[in-house]
Amino acid sequence: MVHLTVSGHPGSGTTTLVQKICNHLNWTSLNGGQVFRTLANERGVKLEDFSALCETEPEVDKSLDDRLLESMIAIDGPEIVESRLSGWWAYKNNIDCIRLWLSVTLEERARRVVNREGGSISDVITRIQDRMDSDQLRYEKLYKISLDDMEPYNLVIETDSLAANEVAELVLSELNRRGL
């Protein structure tokens, strides 16, 4: 069963954090964003275009979210589930785990994406904002969820001024404190 959900906006460092935790603890994970990207690739569309497509095909989001929830409650499922809504699903289904949100300013997320993928800060900010707007529209329409609502999260880490290793150390410390 899941011990940790990791959520955050695009470019917040969720994937890097999950890799570090999995490597350190020899845990497994399920990355909802990777599943989403795989579905976009299978349809031959860019991620941003796929998000827009999902606005008219809600069954895509629902099937992904059902898969995430099934993985979270499975006895032999991954210890970590990473997705924008995994904390919400754990919260709504009373799953006892750490529900983490990585909080990062839009500018810092854009800088991280540019460092990783190239491009200009202004173009990346536009892409991130468009994706966030599309995602929020879908989540509000499908589930009445606002990504600005931190109620489901029992751990929020502001990471603008933290290195990836520092964030991992904070999370590992919390896992250790809880005996995980």
pLDDT, tens digit (0-9, with 9 covering 90-100), for 26-47: 999 999 878 778 888 888 988 7
The number of beta carbons lying within 10 Å of the beta carbon of residue 77 is 16
Nearest Cα to Cα of residue 161 among 13, 3, 7, 5:
13
Evaluate whether 64 touches 118 at the Cβ level (below 8 Å).
no
User: What pLDDT is stored for residue 170 in this prediction?
Assistant: 97
- What's the pTM? 0.86
Q: Average pLDDT in the 59-81 region?
A: 88
Superfamily of domain 4-169: P-loop containing nucleotide triphosphate hydrolases (3.40.50.300)
Residue with tokens 């993928």: 117
Buried b (16+ CB within 10 A) or exposed e, 96-118: ebbbbbbebeeeebbbbbbeeee
> What are the tens digits of pLDDT across the range 110-144?
998 898 899 999 999 998 898 888 888 888 988 99
